[in-house]
Amino acid sequence: MAEETIYTDDSIRSLDWKEHIRLRPGMYIGKLGDGSAYDDGIYILLKEVVDNSIDEFVMGNGKTVDISIKDRQVKVRDYGRGIPLGKMIDAVSKMNTGGKYDSKAFKKAVGLNGVGTKAVNALSGNFIVESVREGQLKKAEFERGELIHDFPIENTTYRNGTRVTFTPDETIFKNYQFRTQFVEKLLWNYAFLNIGLTINFNGEKIQSENGLKDLLQQNLSDDPLYPIIHLMGEDIEVAICHTQAYGEEYHSFVNGQFTPQGGTHQNEFRAAFVKTIREFYGKDYDASDIRSGIIASVSVKVMEPVFESQTKTKLGSTEVGPDGPSMRTFIHDFLKKELDNFLHKNPEVAEQLQRRILQAERERKDMAGIKQLAKKRAKEVSLHNKKLRDCRVHYNDEKDNEKKIETTLFITEGDSASGSITKSRDVNTQAVFSLKGKPLNAYGLTKKIVYENEEFNLLQAALNIEEGIENLRYNNIVIATDADVDGMHIRLLLITFFLQFFPDVIKNGHLFVLETPLFRVRDKQQTFYCYSESEKNEALINLKGKAEITRFKGLGEISPNEFKFFIGDDIRLSPVIIGSDTPVQKLLDFYMGKNTPERQDFIIENLKVEKDLITENN
């Protein structure tokens, strides 16, 4: 008989603010992660602090924000008004406390719930806040949300403003590291949305003169088919262009807040763009043809925005303010007037845009029959050959982003590697796709090849990305290949496949490479799995040199019992990130195109043999 649970007054307890945040961090910052994805918790902590500095700038206080990240310690210094000294400690340690409740002071601020900085405080091993106002400095220091030093107010010659210094708690964010590419993208977005703002990050100056036009220029994956269309109005700004790339790409913002999950403003922009284009040309073009190859950005400013989560990644507001028009009317009216006027004044742009729409229409009609046959074949082959060993739940099973369960698809080579991962995986959330030989080099090929090539067709079907990534079945796509020449080549071919046909997968942070240990170092008491020569040497020191060393040559050599340690809680993933300085097509042309003398010189100059790697690691 089951033991009866005793339910008394003692069963009821109240958590203080920091205990609740630390117990349920996901409620406040979304997922935790280790920094390998752009939306991992450590970047949300940074964003919450910077948001306050940006709000000061928006209100006309301070034009510069200094940010540094070194050895996991983050420093953010603005030159705004500074937190009122008497309430500074409350502002970072009392829930529902902040200046943004006063709508006169922060009419269109990013955060309105008084939670952000408190979450940073509670989830940091060390947190220091300093405020300077009119020649006086107040400082306080916390550990995991607990006040440990309340310094007296002192006189100072420092400029007004606030400085926050914090180090994310290593017991919550395990094995984390800040990746410069993700931090820079976050900070550049602030600059694009706030012309006149200067951000100094680790010695680099980040600022924009042309707002969203600069954003699009920096994020173009291919040469634009026409000059970027840049339209500005009261509380709205848009930038639009088309390329030959596949899919649609959007960058949306609300009150200067990047909304990677989109929301009502992005949805209404997509609909308004289609409606405006149809009316301008007097043609009932298919919506997918109009938006094929589009890269666009939309920024709106609204009163009292409503987001679908604390992390503010998706806008839920249907109106632009308590007394304003609906989001649909606001955006549709703006595009109907401004975009229509622009196209009438720029007939050469209108002609190039229509040419891209007609091209997409031809491609869609040409592939209609091929798609149906490919879908049928994908289903049959998957069932009989067990190419996909699926998991029980999928990322798009739940439409509420806050409730979605993270899932992973491992793309493996060979039966032995896929067998080891299959036996070691979490069958609820981890799936395995087994490749048959090396994939085709997809560079320069049309999307027709995706349906005609069995491996590509099956992979696309497994991911459910034919119509875009909105219904992606696994939010983590992990390339798991051997760390030898063949394995590296397969990685490159798979990355080329995604860059060529589904760049949104990479741009939205879904593609990773699995890191696996190179060595196992053990004695009778302890075992260390080492990912580099330096880690191996450190393990030998810990074991005092008396150890058995095994060099793993391939994934197939790692037993299922060991593999579970590498794809579990301590999994190490390297994100595949597209740099902003090189267009995707030029990148592919250099690495995957014809074997030019320039590429041969690059390989020779950058070739490393094992002894070089050992020297570097030491």
Instruction: Copy the structure tokens of residue 129.
Output: 């806040």
State yes or no: pLDDT of 612 exceeds 50. Answer: no
- Among left, alpha and beta (phi > 0; psi -120 to 50; other), residue 254 is beta
CA–CA separation, 253 and 110 (whole Å): 10
| Cβ 156 vs Cβ 138: under 8 Å | no
In the chain, domain spans: 17-206, 212-362, 386-516+555-581, 519-551, 584-618
CA–CA separation, 498 and 480 (whole Å): 15
Q: Which percentage of the chain shows pLDDT scores above 90?
A: 41
- DSSP bridge pairs for 458: none
How many Cα atoms are found within 13 Å in the side-chain-facing hemisphere of 206? 24
Work out the mean pLDDT of the chain and round it to a whole number. 84
pLDDT at 385: 59
| Cβ 364 vs Cβ 448: under 8 Å | no
Q: What is the DSSP string of 438-506?
A: PPP--TT--THHHHHSHHHHHHHHHHT-TT-STT-S-SEEEEE--SSHHHHHHHHHHHHHHHHH-HHHH
CA–CA separation, 618 and 610 (whole Å): 12
Top-ranked range on mean pLDDT: pick from 145-154, 458-467, 587-596? 145-154
> Per-residue pLDDT tens for 498-554?
988 888 898 888 999 998 888 889 988 888 888 888 889 988 988 887 889 988 877
Q: Which residues contact 13 (CB under 8 A, 6 or more apart)?
A: none
| Cβ 163 vs Cβ 56: under 8 Å | no
pLDDT at 468: 81
Per the model's pLDDT, the better-predicted residue between 150 and 309 turns out to be 150
> Per-residue pLDDT tens for 280-303?
999 999 999 999 999 999 999 888
From the list 430, 497, 421, 506, the residue with the least C-alpha distance to 458 is 497
Q: Count Cβ neighbours within 10 Å for each residue of 276-290 and write b for 16 or more, e otherwise.
A: bbeebeeeebeeebb
pLDDT at 120: 94
Instruction: Copy the structure tokens of residue 382.
Output: 């998957």
Q: What is the fold, at CATH topology level, of the domain defined by 212-362?
A: Ribosomal Protein S5; domain 2 (3.30.230)
**Average pLDDT of the residues in 104-125:** 70
* DSSP secondary structure code for residue 221 in this structure: S
CA–CA separation, 380 and 458 (whole Å): 10
> Per-residue pLDDT tens for 164-179?
999 999 999 988 999 9
State yes or no: pLDDT of 382 exceeds 90. Answer: no
The H or E element spanning position 530 is strand 527-530
pLDDT at 258: 87
| Cβ 85 vs Cβ 140: under 8 Å | no
Three-state DSSP at 231 gives strand
| Cβ 273 vs Cβ 339: under 8 Å | yes
CA–CA separation, 155 and 137 (whole Å): 6
Instruction: Copy the structure tokens of residue 121.
Output: 């405080």
> Per-residue pLDDT tens for 345-370?
999 999 999 999 999 999 888 887 77
Q: Count Cβ neighbours within 10 Å for each residue of 481-508 and write b for 16 or more, e otherwise.
A: bbbeeebeebbbbbbbbbbbbbbbbbbb
pLDDT at 81: 92
CA–CA separation, 576 and 513 (whole Å): 7
Instruction: Copy the structure tokens of residue 49.
Output: 């602090």
State yes or no: pLDDT of 9 exceeds 70. Answer: no
pLDDT at 98: 54
| Neighbouring C-beta atoms of residue 600, cutoff 10 Å | 10
CA–CA separation, 213 and 219 (whole Å): 10
CA–CA separation, 30 and 309 (whole Å): 8
Q: Rounded to two decimals, what is the model's pTM?
A: 0.80
Say yes or no: do domains 212-362 and 386-516+555-581 share a fold: no
CA–CA separation, 522 and 549 (whole Å): 7
Read off the amino acid at residue 539: A
> Per-residue pLDDT tens for 439-482?
888 888 888 888 888 888 888 888 988 878 888 999 899 999 88
CA–CA separation, 316 and 262 (whole Å): 9
Three-state DSSP at 419 gives helix
State yes or no: pLDDT of 105 exceeds 50. Answer: no
State yes or no: pLDDT of 255 exceeds 70. Answer: yes
State yes or no: pLDDT of 126 exceeds 90. Answer: yes
Read off the amino acid at residue 402: E
From the list 94, 262, 276, 258, the residue with the least C-alpha distance to 182 is 258
**Average pLDDT of the residues in 75-82:** 95
| Neighbouring C-beta atoms of residue 543, cutoff 10 Å | 18
From the list 150, 2, 166, the residue with the least C-alpha distance to 68 is 166
The backbone torsions φ and ψ at residue 246, rounded to the nearest 5 degrees and listed phi first, read: -85, 155
CA–CA separation, 480 and 555 (whole Å): 8
CA–CA separation, 40 and 475 (whole Å): 13
> Per-residue pLDDT tens for 193-248?
999 999 999 989 999 999 999 999 988 878 899 999 999 998 899 999 999 888 88
Sheet of 229-233, strand order: 229-233, 236-242, 294-300, 249-254, 257-258
Correct CATH for 17-206 of 3.20.20.70, 3.30.565.10, 3.90.1200.10, 3.40.50.970: 3.30.565.10
CA–CA separation, 466 and 365 (whole Å): 15
The backbone torsions φ and ψ at residue 72, rounded to the nearest 5 degrees and listed phi first, read: 75, -5
**Average pLDDT of the residues in 555-579:** 82
CA–CA separation, 598 and 397 (whole Å): 47
pLDDT at 55: 87
> Per-residue pLDDT tens for 35-57?
988 888 999 999 999 989 998 99
pLDDT at 1: 46
CA–CA separation, 315 and 120 (whole Å): 22
Architecture of the structural domain at 386-516+555-581: 3-Layer(aba) Sandwich (3.40)
CA distances from 130 to 127, 133, 140, 152, 187 (A): 10, 10, 7, 11, 22
Q: What is the DSSP string of 296-342?
A: EEEEE--SS--BSSTT--SB--SBSSTTS-BHHHHHHHHHHHHHHHH
* DSSP secondary structure code for residue 428 in this structure: T
pLDDT at 616: 42
